[in-house]
Amino acid sequence: MAKTMNHLALALLIVPGLGLAECYRADESSGRLEFIGEAEGSRFSGQFGAFEVSLCLDEGDLSTGRIEVTVDTGSADTGNRQRDRELLGEHFFAVDEYPQARWQSGEIRADGDEFLARGELTLRGVTADQPVRLSLGDDQPPVLVGSAEIMRMDWRVGSGDPDFEDTDFIRNRVDLRFELELTPAGDGS
């Protein structure tokens, strides 16, 4: 019986399309998760200092991937004390009530030389569709690069104050960019 089980396990590993998923992880020590906004006509940028990424895919094919990202919203930093205080406060990220944002995708499709991941972003208690553009390098370890255009008001970011809700004052679109070196999930380093 044990011999039969071993042969079955070996057959599953050999048959194309039935290979085991490769899983990777990344966090703030693996790269950067940056955002770019605009207020009063001036661009500003910042980054999140605490986040976790999990990516699993079959046979190295990104189109089979499942991705989950968790971001500590309280780790947002633009290098401007006043702006950061507002970002963490009740009108923007409301970190006391919503300490994390989460994005999950189970559908990734080729789109030219890149991939488009369809997923849902949960931020400030609101869950809505949010696509993300991705590419995965052939490097070892692989590097995941991506971007998204987030319409902040869809998640009530900047709500509760007429000035912050005014998209002429603070642009609605926030650009997100990341470049992360992935580590095999089983690697304890």
Q: How high is the mean pLDDT of the chain?
A: 88
Helices (H), 60-175: 81-88, 162-165
Looking at domain 21-184, its CATH superfamily turns out to be Lipid/polyisoprenoid-binding, YceI-like (2.40.128.110)
- What is the CB neighbour count within 10 angstroms for residue 100? 16
Whether 10 shows a pLDDT value over 70: the answer reads no
More confident residue, 84 or 1: 84
- Give the pLDDT score at 19: 45
Report the C-alpha gap between 118 and 103 in whole angstroms: 10
Q: Give 106-122 pLDDT, tens digit per residue.
A: 899 988 889 999 999 99
Region 151-168 average pLDDT: 96
Under 8 Å between Cβ of 18 and 58: no
| pLDDT for the residue 20 | 55
CB 177 within 8 A of CB 36: yes
Q: What are 166-189's pLDDT values in tens digits? A: 999 999 999 999 999 999 997 544
Say what the pLDDT of residue 2 is. Answer: 40
Residues above pLDDT 70, as percent of the chain: 87
Q: How far apart are CA 77 and CA 50, in angstroms?
A: 10
